[in-house]
Chains A and B, each alone.
Chain A
Amino acid sequence: MQVQGRTVVQMMFTKYYEKFSRIIYVERIDAREIGIVPFSGSMSRHMWFKEISSFRKFLREETPLHCYYSVAYYRDPSARMGEKGWIGADLVFDIDADHINAPCRPEHTPWRCKSCKEEGTKEVEACPVCGGEVDSRKWFCSSCIKAAAKEAVKVIDVLREDFGLDDIRVSFSGNRGFHIRAVSDEILQLGGHERREIGAYVMGEGVEIFGKRGIIQHIRNVRGGAWVRMPTVRDGGWKRRIAEYLLRAIEEGEIFHGVGEELKRNLKLALSGEAKPHMLVGTKALRRIIKLAERGLAELGGKIDIVVTEDIHRLIRVVNSLHGGTGFRVVPLLEAEVASFDPFSQAVVPFNEAVRIVVQYPVPRFQLLKKSYGPYHSGEEVELPTHAAVYLILRGMAVEKRESIE
């Protein structure tokens, strides 16, 4: 980001915190480490506020670009890392659309040719003009966020059903994903290794589909097939999820070759727990079922950034603060709101004063507060409402147009 682009951003952030600092909230702030990234200079960590009111005052006066709090609780949050006195930490999950290959991505991947400077907003492998290498950037649309929300819903289901964790806080991360935080004395003291295993579980890692202890439990081979125990919807954990997946696949008329009508009927009864789960399946059919179950596991596994989950000292964004990479608000959400959440209307801070910017990089068409903008090409000068200008500036796609003072 260019230095001269900062002022309008800074103005918007300052106004925001002046007006809305009262909605900033960090639970048990007295036991948390606070970290901020200022508009200029590097990140400061190990900050401590005794009360939320003094933190709000700090935000009004200092206006940081980013602000974070530790998932950990410390006896002395402002001490150096090894000396804080770790008490415990919430269990967190980070879902980032960047890690999910949403099908819409090629539609909005701006690029610029390194040789001939040709540019565009839809994904290309090489420059269509000269065939040269292109430099491309990531861009996100509401479909991308919807894909991330789907992952969040999966993670929440696992936390609730499998781990019995009921106190779950969800927020939009302010950029392109979601943060999920489970708060409970039970998980407070889990170490990094245990958290990693929970993360792996959520992702469906290490789950055996077929085998002696598999989801589809192999009992013994017989000529031309095998006795297996099918998972059922009455089982727990991944068995239940895969059973539901297979049932859906059958009900939705998913055709799998080699599986006859009778077997399909029996399979349905077994999966739904209406008949004994043990059945004899021919080799070919079994192979199809295993394949389908594997696909189910890959689809149902939560796409999380496990590094965040296992880190017992992690800093995450303060709810209702502004994200310094978008200008969006980190929005706390009810679980029921997650699936339909649209940051491009709900996380935008409606500061509307017109600002002139100069586009620096091709910008795909986008929507904010139900208004469409773009596409823009670089060099283009446009007048936008503050929130839209700030969005492009913070994404590194534009700079503020300012009168020369020389």
Chain B
Amino acid sequence: MAANIEFLAKYPFTKSGVSFLRKLKVPLEELLQPERRAVLNAAVVRLEQAAGIKPRSVKRAVDYLSEFLSAYVALWMVLYTKNRLLKERLADYESWRFLASSTGEPPDVLLQLAKEYDIRVAREEDELQMHFTSYLRLTRRFSAPEWRLGNREPRKGWVRISWRELRRLLSEAVRLWIVSIEREVEWLPEELRVKADKVKEHVERTVKAKTLKTRGQLPPCVEEIKQAILRGEAVSHQARFTLTTYMLSRGATVEEIVELFTSVSDYNPSITEYQVMHIAGLKGSRIRYRPPSCKKIKLWGLCPIKDGLCRFKGAQ
């Protein structure tokens, strides 16, 4: 199925999107022409939404082609800043956009999208299955227990999923796609350069404000997790659990911990708050979890001390 421009406007970060862009061969300079203004404006809006300066929205204000191009211009602006955190933010935003745009898409479109991301899915009548290799790659950051393979029923390598779950997994594929782009953009028109730098500064400022709040001696494993989060890296469920339980045991409040997590790129305030409160024993099972033992932390691969000489050893 040849992808049409409406499809590409909705799903710019796909294989079809890349090859379409290649065929278009739009020089950056051309985007500065007055008749292309719409692209630049839409790109800036996209980026500002990604950085949290403006509220998120998928309302389309321009024609399909401009919308498609604006997605890439926003990406180039981010790549130009060489700022990892901003890239994570954009990735998260585009992932969210995907989820919002794909609501109600028929199965055939979703299956085509899976192909765009080399995701192995198989459909048999109403049953939808994903190969465990794709499934594991895409659920890597999902901390909810229902995504854990142990709570699924893999058979001969295939994991049954729902169509709704497929959409969620596809949106993660979009995120991974953007995060893994290593290309650099060395040149941008002046106007975009200024905008990009502004957005970058905004993001850096918000992170710095958070760094100050959590100073103090933390065990090296907890410190590493905290730093990774502040850098905007995606950390595992176990890492979040470790950080949360430890901070709680140090007397931190739920709000303070939620604050700390706001730099995580997949941040969703209500979910994070729920998770933290759950761990604190304020919600759900009402069990207040204790920080994991050194042994657990090692087992999870979170201990950065290789020689066993950790002065926090056993301290909880």
Contact = CB atoms under 8 A, between A and B. Distances in A.
User: Which of A162, A200, A240, A310: most chain B Cβ within 10 A?
Assistant: A162
Contacts of B158: 164
B140 A165 contact: no
Interface in B136-173: 136-137, 140, 145-146, 148-158, 160
Nearest to B137: A194
Interface in A190-235: 190-194, 196-198, 200-201, 204-208, 213-214, 235
A200 B145 contact: no
Contact of B157 (A186, A196, A204, A307): A186
B49 interface: no
A198 B153 contact: no
B146 A198 contact: no
Contacts of A194: 133, 136-137, 140
User: Which of B155, B157, B158, B236: most chain A Cβ within 10 A?
Assistant: B157
B236 A193 contact: yes
Interface string A240-263: 100000000000000000000000
A373 interface: no
A205 B155 contact: no
A163 interface: yes
Given A164-B158, A193-B140, A194-B133, A213 B150 contact: no
Given A164-B158, A190-B136, A310-B301, A197 B149 contact: yes
A307 B156 CA distance: 24
A112 B75 CA distance: 68
B145 A213 contact: yes
A161 B156 contact: yes
Contacts of B301: 192, 196, 307, 310
A238 interface: yes
B299 interface: yes
B228 to A, nearest CB: 14
Contacts of B136: 190, 193-194, 197-198
User: Which of B136, B145, B158, B301: most chain A Cβ within 10 A?
Assistant: B136
B20 interface: no
A243 to B, nearest CB: 11
User: Which of B146, B148, B150: most chain A Cβ within 10 A?
Assistant: B150
Contacts of B133: 186-187, 190, 194
Contacts of A235: 153
Nearest to B131: A186
B157 A165 contact: yes
Contacts of A190: 133, 136-137
Nearest to B153: A236
B80 interface: no
A306 interface: yes
A186 B120 CA distance: 11
Nearest to B136: A194
Contacts of B236: 193
A237 B152 CA distance: 7
B154 A213 contact: no
Nearest to B158: A164
Nearest to A301: B150
Contact of B155 (A161, A165, A197): A161
B132 interface: yes
Contacts of B146: 213
Contacts of A208: 145, 150-151
B150 A238 contact: yes
A190 B149 CA distance: 15
Contacts of A306: 299
A238 B159 CA distance: 13
A207 B131 CA distance: 19
A161 B158 CA distance: 10
Contacts of A236: 153-155, 160
A306 B155 CA distance: 22
Contacts of B299: 306-307
A162 B155 contact: yes
A57 B224 CA distance: 47
Given A186-B133, A194-B133, A310-B301, A162 B150 contact: no
Interface of A: 161-165, 186-187, 190-194, 196-198, 200-201, 204-208, 213-214, 235-240, 306-307, 310
Given A161-B155, A206-B145, A237-B149, 4 more contacts: A163-B157, A206-B151, A236-B153, A236-B154
Interface of B: 131-133, 136-137, 140, 145-146, 148-158, 160, 236, 299, 301
